[in-house]
């Protein structure tokens, strides 16, 4: 979404293929958190899809990593807060 809005004034003719990433970094549901964090750091990404048998089942984010690894950090506090509705 950020890429689409940054590059265009009019999204009415924008297709997902025009703006989505082509090289995806993914994680498996049974993967160790440290392994996923390493690949996120290596790929300089903030979130990765969690894929099980070719099907997306979730998203692991830098905020999730903060909650798991440094639960007292500001990022963990923000990430754990209830949604602003």
pLDDT in tens, 14-57: 888 888 888 889 999 999 999 998 988 898 888 999 999 999 99
Task: Assess if residue 26 is contained within a domain.
Answer: yes
pLDDT for res 85: 67
d(CA 26, CA 23): 10
Higher pLDDT pick, 70 / 44: 44
Number of domains making up the chain: 1
Task: Assess if residue 9 is contained within a domain.
Answer: no
d(CA 40, CA 26): 9
DSSP state letters, 11-30: -TT--HHHHS-SS---B-TT
CATH number at residue 63: 3.10.580.10
Q: How many CA atoms, within 13 angstroms, populate the side-chain half-sphere of residue 33? A: 11
Task: Assess if residue 14 is contained within a domain.
Answer: no
d(CA 78, CA 65): 12
d(CA 39, CA 43): 6
pLDDT interval class at 7 (50, 70, 90) = confident
């Amino acid at each position: 979404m950020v890429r689409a809005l940054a590059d265009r004034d009019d999204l009415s003719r924008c297709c997902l293929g025009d703006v989505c990433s082509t090289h995806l970094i993914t994680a498996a549901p049974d993967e160790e958190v440290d392994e996923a964090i390493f690949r996120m750091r290596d790929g300089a990404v903030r979130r990765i899809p969690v894929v099980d048998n070719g099907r997306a089942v979730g998203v692991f984010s830098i905020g999730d990593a903060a909650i798991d690894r440094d639960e007292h950090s500001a990022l963990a506090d923000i990430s754990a807060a209830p949604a602003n509705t």
